[in-house]
Amino acid sequence: RGKSTSFIGLGRMGSEMAFNLFSKRYAEANDAHFVVCDAVPDAAGSFCDNFVKHFPGAKMAVAFTPEEAVLASSTVVTMLPSSPHVRKVYTESSGIIPTLRLLSTEEAKATLCIDSTTLDVEVGREVAAEAQETGADMVDAPVSGGVTGAKAGTLSFLVGGGDRAFLRAQPILASMGKRIIHCGPSGSGLAAKICNNLVLGVEQIVVAEAMLLGQRLGLDPAVLAGVINCSTGACWSSMINNPVPGALPDKAPPCERDYEGGFATSLMLKDLGLATNVSSNSGSPVPLAEAAESIYAEVVRRNPELGNQDFSSVYKYLRAAAEE
């Protein structure tokens, strides 16, 4: 198990992250073993085929359940859609935690679980506590940087967990990202991620509103973006992810590809839901997160196709509303 690393969840982010992680580990030790697992077995099979094309000697296996992955590996990384999937993979009968309970105390203690999913803070804390009861180390390590950062290996990891777990996770995360930030105990990485995405979700709508209003007032979008980007309104959504085609002539945000790629509106809607849920339990008001959540919900309800497009496509929804 010591020489083997498992990756569960080979979607848009996970497939890129697993590729970077495995290539670095393979470069360090070419007798390393790699195990992949996905609810869609073809995803795991095609990942292995692709990896072996690049690294012909690599020892790869497909696990059909998380149990098989844990029995084979002492390092297990998960990258799943959200809370129900993490609960299933970690706590159901062929899941990670019941399998850890079957291992010897020494083997369980040798195990490190890293969950990079963006999920509910409280579910993340519960799952980590159950995993730690077996003796294993676990960190929550959600990411910022999107599919581009996952591919380039430049993600930021926001990490929650004890000092020992963080120190163990650090070199593994460094194979997939550039900034590894220890935010505090279990759940703290998730808390930081959810707060960041609350800012981002609101900011993207307000930039879309201002860009639309400016054009209605006769401004050229490139001129308006130029003004905002050297003034106090400048932010990631205006400078990098500006939602108006042609507004950033020297950059290529998703709006230049009809909002394809980038961060899906449905994922932003999920993340704002995580913020509004946790705020009611913590008693901290989030009126703008609530407003943004209902706007993205309406975007997807009116035009389900926008659910898969970048969340800057909220601009298309506002423009259509202005034309009604």
CA 319 to chain centroid, in Å, comes to 29
End-to-end Cα separation, the chain, in angstroms: 61
Whose CB is nearest to ligand NAD? 11
Own/partner pairs, 167-170, CB within 8 angstroms, 24+ separation: 168/112, 168/137, 169/112, 169/114, 169/137, 169/139, 169/141
Q: From residue 176, how far is each of 22, 61, 211, 225, 257 by CA, in Å? A: 10, 21, 35, 33, 26
**Choice between 230 and 252, CB closer to ligand NAD:** 252
Whose Cβ is closer to ligand NAD: residue 38's or residue 130's? 38
Q: What are the Cα distances from residue 49, in Å, to 3, 12, 80, 315? A: 21, 17, 21, 39
Contact status, residue 124 vs residue 191, Cβ threshold 8 Å: no
Coil, strand or helix at 4: strand
Min separation Cβ 295 and ligand NAD, Å: 18
Which of residues 44 and 228 has its CB atom nearest to ligand NAD in the complex?
A: 44
Closer to ligand NAD by Cβ: residue 228 or 292: 292
CB of 131 to ligand NAD, least distance (A): 16
The residue (of 134 and 197) whose beta carbon lies closer to ligand NAD is 197
| Least distance to ligand NAD, CB of residue 155, Å | 8
**DSSP code of residue 310:** B
Cβ distance to ligand NAD smaller for residue 149 or 221: 149
Question: Which of 178, 193, 270, 316 does the annotation list as catalytic?
Answer: 193
Tokens 């959600």 correspond to 142
Helices (H) and strands (E) in the chain, counts: 15, 9
Q: Are 140 and 161 contacting, i.e. CB atoms less than 8 angstroms apart?
A: yes
Q: At closest approach, how far in Å is the CB of 23 from ligand NAD?
A: 18
Question: Amino acid identity, residue 283?
Answer: G
Question: Where does this chain bind ligand NAD (CB under 6 A)?
Answer: 8-14, 37-40, 43, 79-82, 85, 88-89, 117-118, 143, 146-147, 263, 267
Q: How far is the CB of 192 from ligand NAD (least distance, A)?
A: 13
Q: Which residues of 159-192 are buried (b: 16+ CB within 10 A; e: fewer)?
A: bbbbeebbebbeebbebbbeebbbbebbbbbbbb
| Shortest Å, Cβ 198 to ligand NAD | 14
Q: How far is the CB of 193 from ligand NAD (least distance, A)?
A: 8
In the complex with ligand NAD, the residue whose CB is nearer, 209 or 256, is 256
109 is catalytic: no
Q: Are 208 and 279 in contact (CB under 8 A)?
A: no
Longest Cα separation, the chain: 71
Which residues are catalytic, by number? 193
